[in-house]
A and B are shown apart, each in its own frame.
Chain A
């Protein structure tokens, strides 16, 4: 069955530095990958979608890469700010059904001033 792995340990970054989060997946080749942000007690918020034929996608201070050979996506936040502190989730369409979106367990990011 498909597996999505995100770094379960929290990531602590100094303000102004670039935060890099990793999402690894196994056992199949998804057509796309999504990234979400979740704050405590709230639902996830969609950030970016990257498709299998795209190597990189940018949105303001966010950059996502998608390496289908390594089966890995990297999520970068440049010039990080304390307000970027949250849990970041990657998500993939299900192996058996593209409309069943499966989420990774998320990585908690803390940006210290």
Chain B
């Protein structure tokens, strides 16, 4: 079956712009989580969606937002980009939420802010 698809794979944006990243989970998976990965901070939790509802949010400023659609596809948006937002953004899907089901991650979107 198809894995988790993230688009685009690479993105270069200028400071102050905004960006939208997309994630299509594995068919049938209803939980989607987003993570930011940088060399210094590792994997940092951004938010988790289940059945179109945000269940959890990490410690990121309000510039980071997301949503989930009825088909479980999810998008995250970062407004007013800063240089420090340069990172690998990873989306992970799982069948349920909170049960310990292992995540299936996408290959990520590499965002570079210049």
A55 CB, nearest partner CB in chain B, Å: 17
Which of the residues B42, B88, B103 comes within 8 Å of A101, measured between beta carbons?
Answer: B103
Query: Are the CB atoms of B97 and A99 closer together than 8 Å?
Result: yes
A108 CB, nearest partner CB in chain B, Å: 12
Query: Are the CB atoms of A102 and B45 closer together than 8 Å?
Result: yes
State the CA gap A41–B43 with chains docked (Å): 13
**Which residues of B sit under 8 angstroms from A104, Cβ to Cβ?**
42
B61-114 with Cβ < 8 A to chain A: 88, 90, 92, 97-100, 102-108, 110
**Which residues of B sit under 8 angstroms from A99, Cβ to Cβ?**
31, 48, 50, 55-56, 97-98
Which of the residues B31, B33, B45, B100 comes within 8 Å of A51, measured between beta carbons?
Answer: B100
Q: Chain A residues in contact with chain B, CB under 8 A?
A: 31-32, 34, 36, 41-47, 49, 51, 89, 93-94, 97-106
Given A41-B88, A97-B56, 17 more contacts at CB 8 Å? A31-B100, A32-B100, A34-B102, A36-B102, A41-B107, A43-B92, A43-B105, A44-B43, A49-B100, A51-B100, A98-B98, A98-B99, A99-B31, A99-B50, A99-B56, A100-B48, A101-B45
